[in-house]
Amino acid sequence: MNEEKVSCKDVMSHICESLSEEMDSPKCVAIKDHLENCEGCKSYFTSVEMTIDLYKKCTETFPDDVHKKLMAFLELNDEK
Amino acid sequence: MNEEQLIASAKNGDRKALAELVKNYGQTVYSFAFKVCRDREKAENMMQETFYSMIKSLHQFDGNSKLSTWLYRIVVNHCLMEARKSSRYTFVEQETDDSLFDEKYIADWSTLPIKNLETKELRNILDSAIDKLQPEYRVVFTLRDVEEYSTEETAKMLELSVPAVKSRLHRARAFLRNEITKAFQE
């Protein structure tokens, strides 16, 4: 296994990709190892995941009146 | 009728099929526009412009991509045009990795009172953070993380390279995360 050294800053600059990408490169394997032992990075990792989660939950409903206005704007309100 | 049949009928002038397509994608387009514009009125305008463009150009839709992907491309363009009228954004592009990934932002989020916040307060914090993010980064974050499109799909929609999407995404995530941390530390 590659013993490449990474700093916290390295980990943080790559951590976002690690949330959704395969981490099988030597650098990413080293990052994984670092993550398992670094409380600061674990916190950072969790906070980025939470950031994404918060934005996912913060949705906007599609009000009926907005739909009606759209159909009127497109002159499609009589097509049912 | 399935979507392919609806599109074929709409192309042949069937207004009921057209109305059905608009109805099927209204929520998707409005919701995306709102996530990028963070304003109900603007989101409504972007949605209207998007479907107006769809109706005008549907004959050019070749079916090589999903209709949803094609619509995302249109709504992204309208949102970017609208957002560029404003110059209030923090230019994340000019922030160095040293400032974006500064260790001062390694706060333990388990101590942040996120769960105690009223929905409205949390929403204000999220709105304020994303409002400062450049629109080009906001659309990448929204498509990739919120709408869960793959990096490759996002790159195609935005006509960007895969490395460019990855770079924008990780900077957008760090920027938003830091802004939210700052809001709680104030």
By the 8 A CB rule, do B29 and B51 touch? yes
What count of residues does chain B have?
186
Nearest CA in chain B to A54: B126
Domain count, chain B: 2
Task: Convert the pLDDT of each residue in B138-161 to its tens digit.
Answer: 999 999 999 999 999 999 889 999
Residues of A51-61 as b/e, b for ≥16 C-beta within 10 angstroms? bbebbeebebe
ipTM over cut 0.90: no
> A60 vs B40: CB contact, 8 Å cut-off?
yes
Last residue of a domain, one of B83, B113, B130: B83
How many beta carbons lie within 10 A of that of residue A31, not counting itself?
24
Task: Convert the pLDDT of each residue in B89-110 to its tens digit.
Answer: 555 566 666 677 666 666 667 7
What residues make up the domain containing B172?
A: 92-185
CATH number of the domain bearing residue B65: 1.10.1740.10
CATH number of the domain bearing residue B113: 1.10.10.10
Beta bridge partners of B133: B90
What B157-166 contacts at long range (C-beta under 8 Å, 24+ apart), as own/partner pairs, is B157/B69, B157/B72, B157/B73, B157/B76, B158/B76, B165/B140, B166/A17, B166/A21
Last residue of a domain, one of B22, B51, B83: B83
Nearest CA in chain A to B35: A59
> B170 vs A80: CB contact, 8 Å cut-off?
no
Say whether both B77 and B156 belong to one domain: no
Walk along chain A (80 residues) in steps of 10 and give the mean pLDDT of each run. Answer: 59 59 67 78 81 84 90 84
Say whether both B136 and B113 belong to one domain: yes
Say whether both B126 and B67 belong to one domain: no
Say whether both B119 and B55 belong to one domain: no
Say whether both B96 and B176 belong to one domain: yes
- Answer whether residue B79 shows pLDDT above 50: yes
